[in-house]
Structure 1
Amino acid sequence: MKRNLAYIFLAVFCSISFVATAQSSLTALSGQQLNVPTSSVPFLNFTPDARSGALGEAGVALGDADANSVFWNPAKLIFAKQNSGGAISYTPWLRNLIGDMYYTNLSAFGKVGKNTAIAGSLLYFDLGTVDFTTNTGVAAGTFNSREYAITGSISQRLSQNLALALNVKYLNSNLAAGSSIQGLKPGGTAAADIALYYHNETRDRSTGQGLGWGWGAMISNLGGRINYGGNERYFIPTNLRLGTGLTYYVDQYNKFNFVLDFNKLMVPTPNVVNGVNQNGNKDYFSSVFGSFADAPGGFSEELKEVTISTGVEYWYNDQFAARVGYFNESNDKGGRKYFTTGIGLRLQDRFGVDFSYLLPVKQGNPLSQTFRISLLLNFNKSNRLSDDDVTDDSN
C-alpha cells in the first residue's frame, strides 16, 4: 500500500503507542498539559515474540528461557534447558490503520561449556511504502521506510544461580533518506544492554511438586543519540526493566508461571515552559540517569511513567501452554491498557509455535487486533529434574 509522507509520522507516534500524541508535550481535553517521554526508534522496545506478547508483554524473569531471551534478558540463557536454539517471530503492526507495516525478529543462541552462552539477533521494522509529492502535488517517487537492529550477546554464570549478560548492538533508521526530501539521511548508532538474572527452585523428585522463583533486571539501549542529517539529535529508547517470576509445579505434568515486570523509559520528561522544553539541552548521561527525577510533577509523576506488565501461563507436560496477561500505563503518560492472550505448542522437545492476541480495554485503539506468531527450534534438551541447581526435598 502506498501512502502520503504524513503516514510515516502517524506510524512513528502510534508505534510508541502514545496514540493521542502528536508532540512530546500534550494538552488533554481538560486543558491539563501532559508531559509524555518520547524517543526515536521506538521499535527497539517492541515485544518481539508471541510468548511474552501473551503475558502482558512481561519477560525479564520468565522461566524456561529460549532464543527470545536475547531481547528480554540474555542472562537467562545460562539456565535454558537446551544447549542451543533459534526463534523467528512476525507481527503485523497497526494493521487496522496501515496494511503493510510489520516487524520481525530472528534470534539464536548456543552454550559454550557450562557457564557461558553466546547469542545474536536481528530485529527488523518495515514501515511500508510511502508516496512522495512536490509542493505542487506532483508525484515525486516512492520510498520504503525501514529500521533494524543487529545484536550480539554474551552471558556468563557468576554462581550456581546467578548470571550476568551483555548485549552490544548496531541500529539503523532509514525513514526517507534517498527520497525527494533533501538533507534527510539514515540515522545510526551503537548501543548496549546489561542484564542480570537469578533463578532457583525446589522440587520433590517423586511427585514433581515444588516451586521455582527468579528475578531479573535489564537496562537496554544505552547508547548514543540519532541524527537524521540536521542539527537535531534524538534519544534512543533507553529502558529499565525489573521483574520477578514464580513457577508452581502442581505435579510431574502441570505447572503455572506467574510473571510481573516494571518498565521505566529512561529518556527526559518534557518540561515545557513558555513553549520551550527545559530538558532539551541536557547531555546524554544527565538526561538518561536524571530521568528518574526530572518530571515537573515530582515523584508522583515519575511513578506514572512506570508501566506494569503481568501474566499467567499454564503448561501441560511442557507441550501445551495457555496464557493470559495485562498491560497498564497511566492515562497521563499514554494510556495504553490492554489484555493479552495466547497459546503455545511444543513438539518432540525441538519444535515450538506460539501465538498471541491483544485486546484493548477501550474501543478504537490502533493496537486493536494485534497478533504475534513465533516459531522455535531447540536442540539437546536436558532433564529439568537432573539439573545441578535443583534441590531434592524428597527426603
Structure 2
Amino acid sequence: MIQVLTFLVGMLMLSKTSAQSIKGTQIDGRQHNNILTAVPFLLIMPQARSGAMGNAGVALDANASAINNAAVAFLPEGTCGASVTYSPWLKSLVPDMSLSYLSGYYRLDDRNTIGASLRYFSIGNVQFTDNNQQSIGVFNPNELAFDISYARSFGPDFSLGGAVRYIHSNLFSGQTVGSAQVEAGKAIAVDISGLYKREGLFFNEPVIWSAGINLSNIGTKIAYSASNVTYFLPANFRIGGAATFLRNDNRFIVALDLDKLMVPTQPIYDQDAKISKGKDPNRSVPAGIIGSFTDAPGGFSEELKEINISTGVEYSYKNTFALRAGYNYQSPEKGNSTYFTLGAGFKYNVLSFDLAYLAGSTTNNPMANTLRVGIQARFGQKLDQQK
C-alpha cells in the first residue's frame, strides 16, 4: 500500500533538524524532543525479551540477542546460537513499516565469544512528489546496521564487550533536494559494554546481583549529499542493574536501566537566529558527546529530564516458561515516549519463543499495540549447565 510520509531527515538539509518524522512522531516513537539525530531506528529496542520488560536489560543474563554484548561471555562454553526478531512498527500511523533483527554468536572457549547481527528497518512504500505535488515515483526507504561483536570474560564475575557497526541509510534513492543530489548516508560506529555480577544471599535465599553499562553508536557523523551538512548518530549511554532471585525451580528478576543520548541539545534561538540560551550544536563528535551532559539550555534540571527510565520484571519456571512486564518513562519535554509493556517466553528443547506487547500509557500513543516476536535457537553440548 502506498503511503504518503513526511520526512525531516535529509530533506531538511536546509534546517537544523535531522530526525525522521511521520505526522509529528519520530521513527523511534518520540514526539516532542529537542535532541535530534540521524538514523533514530538504532534507538529502537529489537529484542523481544527486553521489549517486554520496558526496554530494561543492560544487566540481564545473555541470549543470542542481548542488549549488552559483554553478557554473552558468560554463556556456556562450546555453545552457539541465533535469533530472529520481527516487529511491525508504528502501525497506527503506517501499516507497512517494520523492524527486522537477526543475530548470532559462537562461544570460542571459556573466555571468548564472537557474534554478529543485522538490523533492517523498512519505512514502507512512499509516494514521492515534487514541489508541484506531482508524483515522481514510489520508493521503499530503508536503513540497516550490520555489527560484528566480541566479548571476553575476566573471571566468573566480570566481562567486557565491544562491537563495530556499519550503518547504511537509504531514504531518498537519488532524489534531488534543492540543488543537491541526495545519496544514501553511511557511517561507522562502535559499542563498548561491561557486565559485573556477584552471587549472594537475600533473606537467606540465593540471589545474583548484576550491573551493566553500554555505550552505543559512538561513531562518525552521517551525510546524505556531497555538501558539508552532517548529522550526529544517536550515541547513547545506558547503565543499569538487576537482581535475580532463585528459589527451587523459580526465578524472579527485577531490572532497572537509565539511559541518555550523548548528542547536543538544541539551543534556544532569538528572532535574529542567534543562540540566546544553550550551546552551539555544530561541533565535533567528541565535543558533542562530552558536552551533551552540560549543554541543556535549562541547566541541570533539564539534563535530568533527558534521562529515560526503563524498569521490568520477569518470572520464569524451570527455565521453560516466563512472564514479563515493564514500564518505560520519558519526560514529556524530551520525547514523551512513555508506556507499559507485557510479554511471555517459552522454551522447548533448543528453541525459545518470546513475545512482547507495548501498550501506550497516554491517549493516542502511536506506539500502542506494538508487537515484537522473537525466535531463538541455541546449540552445544553444555546447554544443561545454563541456569
- Answer whether TM exceeds 0.5 for this pair: yes
The answer to whether the Cα contact below 8 Å between 2:76 and 2:107 also exists between their aligned partners in 1 is no
Hey, what's the Cα distance between the residues in 2 that align with 1:91 and 1:201? 35
**Structure 2 counterpart of 1:122:** 118
**Structure 1 counterpart of 2:358:** 358
Number of residue pairs matched?
364
- How far 1:113 sits from its partner (Å)? 0.9
SS of 1:245's partner is: strand
Q: 1:359 to 1:95 in 2, by over 3 A?
A: same
The answer to whether the Cα contact below 8 Å between 1:141 and 1:180 also exists between their aligned partners in 2 is no
Aligned-residue CA RMSD in angstroms?
A: 2.0
Alignment match of 1:18 (pick from 27, 30, 49):
30
Matches within 5 A, 1:171-210: 171-179=167-175, 181=177, 183-202=181-200, 210=206
Matches within 5 A, 1:366-381: 366-380=366-380, 381=382
The answer to whether the Cα contact below 8 Å between 1:107 and 1:122 also exists between their aligned partners in 2 is yes
- How far 1:288 sits from its partner (Å)? 1.0
Hey, what's the Cα distance between the residues in 2 that align with 1:319 and 1:10? 40
The answer to whether the Cα contact below 8 Å between 1:345 and 1:354 also exists between their aligned partners in 2 is yes
**Structure 1 counterpart of 2:158:** 162
**Structure 1 counterpart of 2:292:** 291
SS of 2:27's partner is: helix
Q: Deviations over 1:340-376 (max 9, x none)?
A: 000000001x101000111111120111111100000
Hey, what's the Cα distance between the residues in 1 that align with 2:111 and 2:91? 42
1:273 maps to 2:269: yes
SS of 1:165's partner is: strand
**Equivalent AA in structure 2 for residue 78 of structure 1:** A
- How far 1:180 sits from its partner (Å)? 5.9
- How far 1:143 sits from its partner (Å)? 1.1
Hey, what's the Cα distance between the residues in 2 that align with 1:115 and 1:143? 46
**Equivalent AA in structure 2 for residue 240 of structure 1:** F
Q: Deviations over 1:215-274 (max 9, x none)?
A: 1001001101110003310000000000111100121x1110111100010000111221
The answer to whether the Cα contact below 8 Å between 1:61 and 1:214 also exists between their aligned partners in 2 is yes
**Structure 1 counterpart of 2:74:** 79
1:242 maps to 2:254: no
**Equivalent AA in structure 2 for residue 376 of structure 1:** Q
Hey, what's the Cα distance between the residues in 2 that align with 1:310 and 1:155? 25
Hey, what's the Cα distance between the residues in 1 that align with 2:274 and 2:161? 40
- How far 1:326 sits from its partner (Å)? 0.3
The answer to whether the Cα contact below 8 Å between 1:54 and 1:324 also exists between their aligned partners in 2 is yes
**Equivalent AA in structure 2 for residue 342 of structure 1:** G
**Equivalent AA in structure 1 for residue 113 of structure 2:** A
**Equivalent AA in structure 2 for residue 77 of structure 1:** V
**Equivalent AA in structure 1 for residue 190 of structure 2:** A
Matches within 5 A, 1:1-395: 1-6=1-6, 9-11=20-22, 13-19=25-31, 21=32, 36-63=34-61, 65-69=62-66, 72-81=67-76, 83-179=79-175, 181=177, 183-202=181-200, 210-229=206-225, 230-251=227-248, 253-274=249-270, 275-276=273-274, 278-348=279-349, 350-380=350-380, 381-384=382-385
Hey, what's the Cα distance between the residues in 2 that align with 1:113 and 1:305? 40
Hey, what's the Cα distance between the residues in 2 that align with 1:41 and 1:138? 28
- How far 1:5 sits from its partner (Å)? 4.6
Hey, what's the Cα distance between the residues in 1 that align with 2:212 and 2:333? 27
Hey, what's the Cα distance between the residues in 1 that align with 2:68 and 2:285? 24
The answer to whether the Cα contact below 8 Å between 1:75 and 1:163 also exists between their aligned partners in 2 is yes
Unaligned runs of 5+ in 1: 25-35, 388-395
Unaligned runs of 5+ in 2: 9-19
- How far 1:382 sits from its partner (Å)? 3.4
